[in-house]
A and B are shown apart, each in its own frame.
Chain A
Amino acid sequence: MFSLSSEAKVGLFVLVGLIILGYMSVQVGKQSFGLKKGYTLEVVFDSAAGLDRDASVQIAGVEVGRVESIRLKDGKALVRLRIVPNVKLEKDAIASIKTHGILGDKYVEIYPGTHGEAYLAAGEQISRTERQADIDRLLHQLGLIADDVRGVTSSLNRVLAGQAGEEAITSILTNTKALTRNLNHVIVSNEAALRAALENTRQLTGNLNRVVTRNDEKVGQVIDTLKSASREMEKTFAALSEITGGVNRGEGTLGQLVKDKGTAEKLNQTLASLQEVTQKINEGRGSIGKLVNDDETVRNLNEGLTGLNRYVNKAEQFRTFLSYRGEYLFDKSNAKSYLDLRIQPKEDKFYILGVVSDPNGRRTTKDVTVGGVTTRTEEWDRDGLLFNAQIGKRYKDLVLRGGLLESTGGIGIDYLTLNDKLKLSFEAFGFGRDRRAHLKAGAEYRLFRHLYLSAGWDDFVSDQDNRSIYGGFSIRFEDEDLKYMLTTTPIPK
């Protein structure tokens, strides 16, 4: 049998032992290989509690180095890390101390910085650290919370524990029990009464329903009454309009206004628009009709009147102008004055009422027949006033007017130009068999807001040597007071 010498056996044993030792060393020391060549970095932590020398340094869980030393520096922990050479860390890398699980070892985790930053060189310091929610801090906070909870429970305990608390709870429960029992008792014993109450309620609602149904009719009646009331109002306003018409006529009797049919018609139209106003009130009736409440009716009546006022006010767009015009007749060496009231209900429609003082005065003729011989005497009433009463309508730049001109029938044409600044006018009036008509042509120019200059040729076809060039001025302004007088007068209170 082949037998090994002692030396061979020992040699073999030593070999095997060394191989095993080598294997174990390699396995255990694997991570340390290459580390000796690595470079060091420094990190300052507020606390390195639990961190040991040779603790792992990891990036994303991969070990890249070990903690080489931990020292105290300025009250903080200066930790020197040895990092394997092929791992480079950017300048803004962050280091923090972490724990494997709850009870595990502490290690240093490094979050690499931004890609592209400069790398940290050997011996430099990782400036950014992150505080970790470590178990100590967690337990400390848990302890604080537990203290609070204990405070609450102990105060609860103080309230509830002991004879008094127990009695209080017992009495509360007893009361609750009694209460529910009583409630039950009440309900059971009063079942009939409750049922009766419900029945009553049902009847009540039924009655209410009937009342409402009957009321429906009455509401209708109320509305009808309102309707007729408003119709009465309509009539009232119609009467009012007649009154105003009367007033107008009354004014007319002062002059020859009423003789002019057109004027009357225009006035009637104005009154017709007043009627429209009352019709608006009729429309207002619709909303009144919806009302079932007396208060509301009153309110709506008020609203209706407000609306009426509004429309009356609209009538106030109605403008009145007063004007004085003086003309100097050069050839006659005297002056003629006009005082006109111009009423303009619409933009393109106006009435002119006015008086004219003519230096020629008012001519009156008298035929006196004495013994078959008739002699005609003409008198000029120098103090007599002539009247103007015209109606006019404007078509764009052209104004046509007619009526009484200087107390005789006539017509006039105005042409407005230069943005209404310049008015060229032609008037013809005083038609008579015995004399030629009075024709007048002139121009008026607005100098300022209320001041106009005028010039023209008066009576240029006169056969009585009345023709004359004239020049003058006029003052014209809008009269608010007059307007109010005119518009508010017809509205009776």
Chain B
Amino acid sequence: MNRFSGALDRLGRAVLAGVEEMGKIILLFVSVLAWMFRPPFKLHNIFKQMEFVGVKSIFVVVLTGTFTGMVMALQGYHGFRMFSAESLVGGTVALGMTRELGPVLTSLMVTARAGSAMAAELGTMRVTEQIDALYVMAANPVKHLIVPRVIAGVLMVPLLTVVSDFTGILGGYFVGVHILGINSGIFIKNITRLVDLNDIYNGLVKAACFGLILSLIGCYKGFNTYGGAEGVGRATTEAVVLASIAILISDYFLTAIMF
């Protein structure tokens, strides 16, 4: 009985902790929104974050996108060959990349690369009391540290998604046409026939949401770090895991809403 109530107690605490954390993240988002439109705008900060989140992620994203497209073409080919519809491989790759895999994989990669970096950076600043110093300097840390990162995330992840989509389709084209021998005209024809502008744009909207989520969670985790170097490590891990889970879960709901 005692043990049972103990378990219930822990479950209740965990749920409460989760809800509390979610509330804190939403509050952080609200304050980010509040601070975003409040001058002074430190454009250089924003660009620096954009460079970090976007430009420096290009290589990873291109690699991921290309190989994802290639593997989709390969798998799709074997599937479609069962009923002689190999020409549909192009459309399938393009549709999958633009709607789903482009945004999700890109944001996961960015989470791993930039989200973790954000958490670590802010966590280190927290444990080394640099954030407290900012408060002392009457400079709002949300305004200075978090707003540029969130802006960079929201803007750059969609752009990276575009790159990912494109390279993914290119990879699929390469595999489909040059390795599997599908007619190139039909391959492209099926892409344009099956893929709509809305597929691309909705994918980009998703990517923007993911960018928001990953930057917000990364910043939140780093911002609320405690417990020294160990705490920084834990914050980084938690940021990546939470952001990834949040991306995948929200992806489902976004898809349900949009398509």
Contacts and interface: CB of A to CB of B under 8 A. Distances in A.
- How many chain B residues sit at the interface, stated as a range, is 20 to 34
Interface stretch (A29-37, A299-307, A365-373): A29-37
Given A13-B58, A20-B166, A21-B200, A28 B191 contact: yes
B163 A17 contact: yes
A434 to B, nearest CB: 141
Interface in B180-224: 191-193, 195-197, 199-200, 204
Nearest to A105: B193
Given A17-B160, A20-B163, A24-B166, A10 B55 contact: yes
B162 A103 contact: no
Interface stretch (B24-32, B45-53, B135-143): B45-53
Interface in A1-33: 5-7, 9-10, 12-14, 16-18, 20-21, 23-25, 27-32
B81 to A, nearest CB: 14
B16 to A, nearest CB: 41
B108 interface: no
Given A6-B50, A54-B196, A24 B162 contact: yes
Nearest to A28: B195
Interface in B103-155: 155
Interface in A22-79: 23-25, 27-32, 54, 56
Given A24-B166, A28-B197, A10 B51 contact: yes
Contact of A9 (B55, B159, B162, B196): B55
Contacts of A56: 193
Nearest to A11: B47
Given A17-B162, A24-B162, A10 B47 contact: yes
A13 B159 contact: yes
B200 A25 contact: yes
Contacts of B191: 27-28
Given A13-B58, A17-B160, A24-B165, A103 B197 contact: no
- Interface of A (DSSP majority class): helix
A6 B196 contact: no
A16 B83 CA distance: 39
Interface in A247-271: none
A13 B83 CA distance: 42
A3 to B, nearest CB: 12
B54 interface: yes
B53 to A, nearest CB: 9
Contact of A28 (B43, B54, B156, B192): B192
A31 B162 contact: no
Contacts of A18: 159, 162
Contacts of A103: 83, 85
B3 interface: no
A278 to B, nearest CB: 98
Interface in B32-73: 43-44, 47-48, 50-51, 54-55, 58
A101 to B, nearest CB: 8
Given A28-B192, A54-B196, A21 B162 contact: yes
A20 B203 CA distance: 14
Contacts of B197: 25, 28-29, 32
A6 B58 CA distance: 14
A31 B51 contact: no
Nearest to B84: A101
Contacts of A21: 162, 200, 204
A14 B165 contact: no
Contacts of B98: 24
A30 B83 contact: no
Which of A9, A16, A56 has the largest count of B CB atoms less than 10 A from its CB? A9
A13 B160 CA distance: 9
Contact of B55 (A13, A24, A28, A29): A13
Nearest to A19: B162
B162 A20 contact: yes
B157 to A, nearest CB: 11
Contacts of B55: 9-10, 12-13
21 contacts: A6-B44, A7-B43, A10-B50, A10-B51, A10-B54, A13-B55, A13-B58, A13-B156, A13-B159, A14-B155, A17-B160, A17-B162, A18-B159, A23-B166, A24-B98, A28-B195, A28-B199, A28-B200, A32-B197, A54-B196, A103-B85
Those 3 A-B pairs whose CB atoms lie nearest each other, nearest first? A17-B159, A6-B51, A29-B197
Interface of A: 5-7, 9-10, 12-14, 16-18, 20-21, 23-25, 27-32, 54, 56, 103
